[in-house]
Structure 1
């Protein structure tokens, strides 16, 4: 496998990982007001591919944030217990938006590397044809 193909494999694994991360961040943001919802965390892992000899990024198992849920007093809420409290979510919108921005920028950086590698490969083919 040539070096261009290896670079494309590595960047495509980064694109897939960041896309998965963005999807879960969007779920977290959309469920910020859902009572009892626990924030999803996406760990990244390094996976060595012996077939092409490169390390690639993989998404690990989705984990739930085990931080405590805030107890809110609202006896009129349908999920309130007999004392009038219910558990809110542990999603902090500022953290989720910052993480989403980071994931978006990482995705864009991987995309730039992918495009640059493709252009370099195409230029090399043009040179070899002459």
Structure 2
């Protein structure tokens, strides 16, 4: 495989990993008000690609084990004898920061993909002359 193919493979794997990360962040945001919901976190890893170059992938998705906020609402169906129930442990500020980081990483991988494509096109133009 050529260096161009290797670079495209690496940037494509980064695009896929960051888009999956954004999906997980969106799930967390959507479940902010879901009682008992635990925030999902993403851990990245590498895998040998088809071309032998290491590619990025989501190694595993795990749950944040922190306890959710205790909310007092005696009328809530999930309330215990004291009138409290456990809310989610999702913090919107953290989720927004994670989303921005994933977005910027996605954009960086997309820029790399475009640069490799432009270099490949330039090389083909030179070889035609």
Between the aligned partners of 1:80 and 1:121, the Cα distance in structure 2 is 62
Match of residue 67 from structure 2: 68
1:109 paired to 2:92:
no
1:1-130 map, 5 Å: 1-49=1-49, 51-130=50-129
Shift of residue 22 of structure 1? 0.2
TM-score, structure 1 length as denominator?
Answer: 0.96
Unpaired runs of 5+ residues, structure 1, are none
Aligned residues: 129
State the superposition RMSD in angstroms: 0.9
TM-score, structure 2 length as denominator?
Answer: 0.97
Tell me which moved more, 12-21 or 64-73: 64-73
Between the aligned partners of 1:47 and 1:61, the Cα distance in structure 2 is 13
Runs of 4+ in 1 over 6 A off after TM superposition: none
Shift of residue 2 of structure 1? 0.4
